[in-house]
Amino acid sequence: LIIREGAKMSKSKGNVIVPDPIIEEYGADTFRLYLMFLGPFSEGGDYQDQGISGPHGFLHRLWESVVPKRGDLPDGPPDPDVERKLHQTIQQVSEQVPALQYNTAIAAMMEYLNVARAGGRQPSRAEVELLVPLVAPFAPHMAEELWQRLGHEGSIFDGTHWPTFDPAKAVESTVEVAVQVNGKLRGTISTAPGASQDDAVALAKGEANVAKHLEGMQVRKIIYVPDRLLNFVVG
């Protein structure tokens, strides 16, 4: 069910959406993308007239990323942090599209493009090429055009271009672990994924605020959940 500005759409209320003028202004791909972005597919969402600007801006930024205003699309290897985010995004979208979780899949692609363009940087070919097939189910006309501009022959929809994520490249290089003293948050530490308890404890004791609350106290127990939580029970 799609509502508009908080009210159920009906002819009697005169709030039915007429797609023709919207498509004329923004294009069919933007309109399609926005409808899928409104909310969970099984629940629908609240159509806000101004809300279409977000999906429209995303497609505009994607076009500029693949077809730069000045110069050619840079070659070369991807930035490691951007590559990690790319493979996380491929994994997320690949899992969410079959589950009809279109809105969160689109949000993941928007987030990735923001990372790839952070600080005004121009993404490289390796950083945007695999994004185009992910966008294709939501913005098919634009994706097909971008695919051709990237130099590919044949249609993007021939069934062989959906990217596969690399689990090794999707793993975070560091994770944030909350540090508690007697159950109260006293700081956070950055560790390698799966860091040992000894390593986590050493890092935590090096944090000024944690050390302050441990000073003069006897550590009676340590509760450690790798990649998530470290709790000192003191007395």
Residue 110 has what pLDDT?
Answer: 97
2-6, 85-89, 131-135, 164-168 — which is least confidently predicted? 2-6
217 contacts: CB under 8 Å, gap ≥ 6: 234, 235
Q: Across the strands, what pairs with 180?
A: 185, 231
Q: In which region does residue 151 sit, left (phi positive, over 0), alpha (psi from -120 to 50) or beta (all else)?
A: left
Helix pair angle (102-116, 28-37), 10° resolution: 110
pLDDT band for position 19 (50/70/90)? confident
- Look up residue 14 and give its two tokens: 């005169």
Q: Does domain 2-170 have CATH number 3.10.580.10?
A: no
pLDDT band for position 5 (50/70/90)? low
Q: Quickly name the fold that domain 175-234 has.
A: Ubiquitin-like (UB roll) (3.10.20)
Length of the chain: 235
Q: Across the strands, what pairs with 189?
A: 177
Residue with token string 């979208």? 93
Contact 33, 55 (CB under 8 A): yes
Q: In the predicted model, is pLDDT for residue 79 greater than 80?
A: yes
Closest CA to 55 of 110, 133, 136: 110
- pLDDT tens digit string along 53-72? 999 999 999 999 999 988 88
User: What whole-number distance in Å separates Cα of residue 145 and Cα of residue 151?
Assistant: 10
Listed by start position, the domains of the chain span 2-170, 175-234
pLDDT band for position 7 (50/70/90)? low
CA distances to 84, 173, 183 from 87, in Å: 5, 13, 35
> Looking at residues 2-15, what average pLDDT do you find?
69
> Looking at residues 16-22, what average pLDDT do you find?
86
| 3 state DSSP class of 172 | coil
Contact 59, 14 (CB under 8 A): no
Please determine whether the domains at 2-170 and 175-234 fall in the same fold group of CATH: no
Across 32-46, 69-83, 119-133, 156-170, the highest mean pLDDT is recorded for 119-133
Residue with token string 């044949």? 154
Quote the mean pLDDT of the chain. 92
